[in-house]
Structure 1
Amino acid sequence: MGRRGPGATPAPKDQGENVFPLFEGKLTAPTLPAPVRRWRDEEGLSRAERVIAFLEDLPITSGAHAGRKMTIRPWQRDIVNGIYATDSDGARPVRTAVVSMPRKNGKTALAAGLALAHLLGPEAEPRGQVYSAAVDRDQAALIYNEMVAMIKADPEFSRRVNVQAFAKRIEDYETGSTYAALSSDARKGHGLNASFVIYDELAQARDRKLFESLATSMGARAEPLMVVISTQAADDTHFLSELIDYGQQVLSGVTQDPSFHLTLYNAPEDADPWDEATWYACNPALDDFRSLEEFRTFAKRAARVPSLESTFRNLYLNQRVDAEARFINRVEWESCATVPDRRALRGKACFGGLDLGATRDLTALVLVFPDEQGGFDVLPYFWCPRDLLREKEDAERVPYFTWANKGFIEATPGKSTDYGYVVQRLGELAQEFDIKSIAYDRWRIEELRRQLDAEGVNLRLTEWGQGFKDMSPAVDALETSIIDSKLRHGAHPILTWNASNAVVDRDAAGNRKLSKDKSREKIDGLVALAMAIGLSRRDTGERRSPSCLTDGPIILM
């Protein structure tokens, strides 16, 4: 009887002929006894050593070394030892492992080998469910194709499995275990009982749905394991960045969690990206099976073409940067993370920037308190409709619900932002601080004016254009305060997210403005911050009478 499933491999014949003619017909006929396997037969090996022995029994299936056995390098041994280390009872504590490194350091072969170890090797369990996951079918097929190539190059493995090419599924008759390739656009993460998962290039995932579905599908297994192998995501808000940041806390001892393991190869943000010593430090396979010549070639291009620099930093150095150059350097922004002392600011003079979003969008208010040294304490406020938090979280891939629960967003009832809540907060802030003036974009301001008037809130509002004339000096002042570390924003997560998204437009004269069209995601808070700082630099700090007011109306209630 033939093997089941569309595209299944043919069943081996009873005769002794070789039915898997690969690598010039050098394979042993499948009817011969299985070869001796060190990972199976040798006594005294630790759990990690058995996995390493299994990997070194697998063939290289492409490239100059095709047909040879894999050789696990010391740095790869460290990865395996970290994941498969056991406690005093012989159990493996690690349940989630993240391996993050630049591209082309052999992650696909390693991932395929680990998946095979759990399907039919030393980590296989009866009726296990092994999965590889990726953002799309093409990416998901990479590990599957590597696994199939390794299986076909091994007569014993070829005999004991059924490969269903159409479904990208592999069944091991000996253990009853199965493997399948999943993609996030397939929506197949529910109803599984995974024992082992490889998630390939999690940084490319548009949302965390498949990741969470697979993670929660492992609860019924005694020793489940998920391994994420990926370059870094572009920004701090991606959930891969959250995993890596958590892993660094575990490595540093700040957090005690033996179930989580992180291996991270990346260049520090302040490292010289063009120094070959930087390359070697974060590319463990460089000048081994990772081409140094290709690396040098792309680095030369990236050094000459600004648009390629971010790509080089992300994919070749594994730095947390986007492919499009951003306005604010992350290291410089993080150097301004001092938390303002709110109690010390009570009664002090401040200036505001107000960016009113559409009724279904984010609204931002930022107050800045100038000091005598030219610095600024920053207090941001954000509003968003409560009924749209989940929708916006899915669309923008940032944790709106978490931000709302922690008080970073004031969620207004319903599906549209009620400006009455904004006005109420403005009234409270006006009583707590000496608000000299608030810069605003005139879009939708009349509705806010009416509510300010109805509530009797007395504030000086200054119209602030969004073109180069008004925004260029504001952007310059904001940038200078960040570069000189004279900003104290307290690492507010939404403002930090906005800062990481910001891109500027530049006119022929070199003037700059923040561009909402070019920016990857929301920048409302940063626009408000720029307006507030620009206003504070422009304003004398003294309240003028209406007769001499030139930059905007006073509302007197």
Structure 2
Amino acid sequence: MTTIDKVIAKHIPQDAPFPSEGYRVARWIEEFCYLTGSFAGRRFRLLPWQRELLVDAYRLEQDAFGRWRRKHRMVVVCIARKNGKSTLAAAIMLYHLIADRADSQRQVIAAANDRNQARMVFDAAKQMVTASPKLSAVCDVQRDVIRYKDSTYRVVSAEAGRQQGLNPSAVSLDEYAFSKNADLFDALTLGSAARNQPMTLVVSTAGPDPDGPFAQLCETGERVNSGELDDPTLFYRSWGPRLGDTVDHLDPDVWKACNPSFEILNEDDFRAAAQRSTEASFRIYRLSQFVRGASTWLPHGLWDSLAREDALSPGEAVVCGFDGSWKGDSTALVACRLSDLRVFVLGHWEAPPDDAHWRVPMGDVRHALHDALKTYRVMNLVADPYRWEETLDNLEADGFPVEAFPTNSLKRMIPATQSVYDAARDGRLTHDGNPALARHVGNAVLREDKNGARVTKEYAASRRKIDLAIAMILAVHGAVMWREDNGDFVGTAILATFEDDEGIHIMGGEPGMFDDY
């Protein structure tokens, strides 16, 4: 009897629909592995979906010589975050390090696009070994490698530049959706050609690029599952909506369908996340749905619903946002009233569509900036300094409050984008209905990556301008921050202001309190 025959006889139930090594993998994990994180110290008890995944992914078939071999060499799992995918991947890789009988001198790899992400699975495996008396007795755990006899389990990332020359028997590739190319994937999968029965486990949440390498791999998996393609070595499973599917991202039944671990997750957390996150972020991370990077920033109809007929009166307290340019683009000046976070366009200069020689009328822009600063009580002018450093420096030298805000700074734009989205979604932000601003907001698309979400053009050379939207974000975010630092203006009228060595001070009161005087 061969080794695999013994495995089948010992671990596979009599009523199993087909032979699978997954039964042995499941039993080994529950026998030797312990959970990490919030459930640290508890034995690993597989959830029904995890057990089913192992059985299906490790299906066995006989080859032409009657030998039992793994049907699948590539297992692709597309699953939303918080479902325990990294923990499961770590346990599977430990199985391949210690108990895989298809190879004797095994090389197991934890891989990802960057080293920090790759270490998430590897560190979970280290914690499992440390927590298990039986595993820690036979494994040597070091910072970047776990050794078992002549076999190793180590970390590799695309940025490390060490992915070539490997001969892995098993690989876990984490969060592949955020890889810009397939270089690491190709190096790892092509390097295992000499192995007897190599296994590559790609586990990732869907991402913002439906044309990227992981999305293409998932599309291939869907075509294999439907019978359109014949590739028995590829196994694919996803719980999220397919690209183009229309689902209500606020429906708890959708949450449950897209999250196989939903029974142990917190529904209130999903509800809160749906309110505080952008729709694109929620669909990607909580539903594992591929969302086009060019998806609109705000939900359809939201901006139009926030329009109000109003005018900004001289002397009102505002924060201004300024996004300047030089040629071929547009320059925008937007004010946000502090009392109610209502947005007004104060100036906009945009290149005509067919005028390649157009230049921003810099004199007109400077005049508009001075006019705004003199007409309104500008508590802060939040401005992108690119190409406008001298003008902004002169304004600051004249005593006006100027805050440089480079819009190419992800650390600043990401929280600003989220802050303005929250204000719009909650109805705290309104605007004057300016059609150019509405067009620019509609042109703005959301870009999602490992750093977070921010607005941008759909592509760098796009003629669809977004400068008014950027200036609006600077103004509203600046107003929100100013209110947090100086008190909420809701329901308060600006009665008088004065300035001393400590800054600008505002005296307020109830609206209409002096109407009789």
TM range (shorter): 0.5 to 0.7
Once the two structures are superposed, residues 487-512 of structure 1 have per-residue CA deviations (whole angstroms, 9 ceiling, x without a partner) of xxxxxxxxxxxxxxxxxxx9962232
Change (3 A) 1:44 1:80: closer
Question: What corresponds to 1:301 in structure 2?
Answer: 276
Is 1:128 matched with 2:102? no
| Secondary structure, aligned partner of 2:201 | strand
How far apart are 1:84 and its partner, in Å?
Answer: 0.6
Once the two structures are superposed, residues 42-93 of structure 1 have per-residue CA deviations (whole angstroms, 9 ceiling, x without a partner) of 8243411101101112343435543222111221122112221011231112
Counterparts of 2:169 and 2:298 in 1: how far apart (Å)?
Answer: 42
| Secondary structure, aligned partner of 2:82 | coil
Report percent identity of matched pairs.
Answer: 30
Change (3 A) 1:40 1:86: closer
Question: What corresponds to 1:80 in structure 2?
Answer: 54
Instruction: State the AA in 1 paired with 2:97.
Output: L
Counterparts of 2:124 and 2:23 in 1: how far apart (Å)?
Answer: 22
Instruction: State the AA in 2 paired with 1:120.
Output: I
Counterparts of 2:280 and 2:354 in 1: how far apart (Å)?
Answer: 32
Counterparts of 2:458 and 2:55 in 1: how far apart (Å)?
Answer: 39
Counterparts of 1:232 and 1:286 in 2: how far apart (Å)?
Answer: 18
Question: What corresponds to 1:138 in structure 2?
Answer: 116
Contact 1:54–1:122 (8 Å) recurs in 2: no
Once the two structures are superposed, residues 166-218 of structure 1 have per-residue CA deviations (whole angstroms, 9 ceiling, x without a partner) of xx111111xx1111111211011100111111000011223221111111111
Counterparts of 1:246 and 1:188 in 2: how far apart (Å)?
Answer: 28
Report matched runs for 1:145-544 at 5 Å.
Answer: 145-165=123-143, 168-173=144-149, 176-267=150-241, 269-288=245-264, 290-302=265-277, 308-321=278-291, 325-326=295-296, 441-443=354-356, 509-511=434-436, 512=439, 514=443, 518-519=456-457, 521=459
Instruction: State the AA in 2 paired with 1:170.
Output: I
Change (3 A) 1:223 1:507: farther
Change (3 A) 1:324 1:55: farther
Contact 1:267–1:278 (8 Å) recurs in 2: no
Report matched runs for 1:52-67 at 5 Å.
Answer: 52-63=26-37, 65-67=39-41
Counterparts of 2:459 and 2:299 in 1: how far apart (Å)?
Answer: 16
Contact 1:314–1:323 (8 Å) recurs in 2: no
Counterparts of 1:217 and 1:258 in 2: how far apart (Å)?
Answer: 20
Counterparts of 2:11 and 2:90 in 1: how far apart (Å)?
Answer: 26
Instruction: State the AA in 2 paired with 1:272.
Output: D
Instruction: State the AA in 2 paired with 1:510.
Output: P
Contact 1:136–1:184 (8 Å) recurs in 2: yes
How many residue pairs end up in the alignment? 311
Counterparts of 2:459 and 2:107 in 1: how far apart (Å)?
Answer: 37
Counterparts of 1:284 and 1:66 in 2: how far apart (Å)?
Answer: 21
| Secondary structure, aligned partner of 1:125 | coil
Once the two structures are superposed, residues 426-474 of structure 1 have per-residue CA deviations (whole angstroms, 9 ceiling, x without a partner) of xxxxxxxxxxxxx9744499xxxxxxxxxxxxxxxxxxxxxxxxxxxxx
How far apart are 1:312 and its partner, in Å?
Answer: 0.8
Question: What corresponds to 2:10 in structure 1?
Answer: 43
Instruction: State the AA in 2 paired with 1:160.
Output: V
Instruction: State the AA in 2 paired with 1:137.
Output: R
| Secondary structure, aligned partner of 2:116 | helix
Root-mean-square deviation (CA, aligned residues, Å) is 3.1
Contact 1:193–1:220 (8 Å) recurs in 2: yes
Counterparts of 2:268 and 2:104 in 1: how far apart (Å)?
Answer: 46
Contact 2:189–2:200 (8 Å) recurs in 1: yes
Counterparts of 2:126 and 2:9 in 1: how far apart (Å)?
Answer: 26
Instruction: State the AA in 1 paired with 2:290.
Output: R
Contact 1:267–1:281 (8 Å) recurs in 2: no
Change (3 A) 1:515 1:144: closer
Higher mean C-alpha displacement, 93-102 vs 275-284: 93-102
Contact 1:203–1:233 (8 Å) recurs in 2: yes
Change (3 A) 1:328 1:212: farther
Counterparts of 1:277 and 1:239 in 2: how far apart (Å)?
Answer: 30
Change (3 A) 1:254 1:153: same
Counterparts of 1:329 and 1:179 in 2: how far apart (Å)?
Answer: 45
Instruction: State the AA in 1 paired with 2:296.
Output: R
- Consecutive unaligned residues of structure 2, counting only runs of 5 or more, are 1-5, 13-19, 301-351, 359-430, 446-454, 466-517
How far apart are 1:164 and its partner, in Å?
Answer: 1.7
Counterparts of 1:135 and 1:207 in 2: how far apart (Å)?
Answer: 9
Change (3 A) 1:170 1:244: same
Counterparts of 2:180 and 2:247 in 1: how far apart (Å)?
Answer: 29
Contact 1:124–1:177 (8 Å) recurs in 2: no
Counterparts of 1:312 and 1:101 in 2: how far apart (Å)?
Answer: 13
How far apart are 1:279 and its partner, in Å?
Answer: 0.4
Question: What corresponds to 2:92 in structure 1?
Answer: 114
Counterparts of 1:219 and 1:316 in 2: how far apart (Å)?
Answer: 35
Counterparts of 1:257 and 1:202 in 2: how far apart (Å)?
Answer: 21
Once the two structures are superposed, residues 109-156 of structure 1 have per-residue CA deviations (whole angstroms, 9 ceiling, x without a partner) of 100011001000245621111001112222111111111111112223
- Consecutive unaligned residues of structure 1, counting only runs of 5 or more, are 1-38, 303-307, 331-438, 446-505, 528-557
Question: What corresponds to 2:499 in structure 1?
Answer: none
Contact 2:78–2:238 (8 Å) recurs in 1: yes
Question: What corresponds to 1:9 in structure 2?
Answer: none
Instruction: State the AA in 2 paired with 1:113.
Output: A
Change (3 A) 1:208 1:266: same
Higher mean C-alpha displacement, 242-251 vs 146-155: 146-155
Counterparts of 1:96 and 1:442 in 2: how far apart (Å)?
Answer: 53
Once the two structures are superposed, residues 290-313 of structure 1 have per-residue CA deviations (whole angstroms, 9 ceiling, x without a partner) of 2223222212334xxxxx221111
Question: What corresponds to 2:504 in structure 1?
Answer: none
| Secondary structure, aligned partner of 2:214 | helix
